[in-house]
């Protein structure tokens, strides 16, 4: 009888535990929900546009209300949509090739904003005085997205 009770208890715990388990989107730390999948699919469009060095696609993903203070209190390094456009054109002329990998750490929501925390690794082949060379950048980062006309746009973090 003790063995039967133990088996029933174990089966109940396994079933109850499986029902409470939260599944993440594969290869991420992000819970698997429809909303989170939509956000990550949008950010993947951004990642692919960086790799293909597609300035038009990057600008199409950015909100015209784009603003990034670069994490500093000084205003001279702030970037609005106009400065983003100019900067992308300049940077992408200097970069010959790009590889951009994103590890998704979390997605949080605040009103109509999605805050996407990532760890990115970028490899960029750039022209130097010694000829083309690969540069690597590894950095935690946050993209801020907003819904505009039923679609996500990047408000900051490019």
pLDDT single digits (tens) 82-120: 999 999 988 878 899 999 999 999 999 998 899 999 999
The DSSP secondary-structure symbol of 53 reads T
Nearest to 63 by CA among 85, 37, 44: 85
Per-residue pLDDT tens digits for 35-82: 999 999 999 999 999 999 999 999 999 999 999 987 666 767 789 999
Which residue, among 49, 142, 144, 135, has the nearest Cα to 95 in the 3D structure?
A: 135
Domains of the chain: 27-156 (3.10.450.50)
pTM metric for this prediction: 0.81
């Amino acid at each position: 009888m003790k063995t039967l009770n133990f088996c029933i208890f174990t089966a109940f715990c396994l079933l109850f535990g499986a029902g409470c388990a939260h599944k993440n989107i594969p290869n991420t730390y992000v819970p698997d929900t429809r909303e989170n999948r939509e956000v990550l699919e949008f950010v993947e469009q951004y990642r692919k546009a960086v790799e293909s060095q597609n300035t038009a696609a990057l600008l199409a993903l950015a909100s015209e209300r784009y603003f990034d203070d670069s994490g500093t209190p000084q205003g001279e390094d702030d970037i609005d949509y106009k400065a983003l456009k100019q900067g992308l054109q300049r940077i992408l002329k200097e970069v010959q090739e790009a590889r951009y990998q994103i590890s998704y750490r979390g997605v949080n929501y605040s009103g109509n904003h999605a805050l996407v925390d990532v760890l990115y690794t970028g490899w960029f082949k750039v022209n130097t005085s010694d000829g083309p060379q690969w540069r690597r950048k590894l950095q935690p980062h946050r993209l801020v997205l907003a819904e505009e006309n039923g679609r996500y746009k990047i408000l900051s973090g490019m």
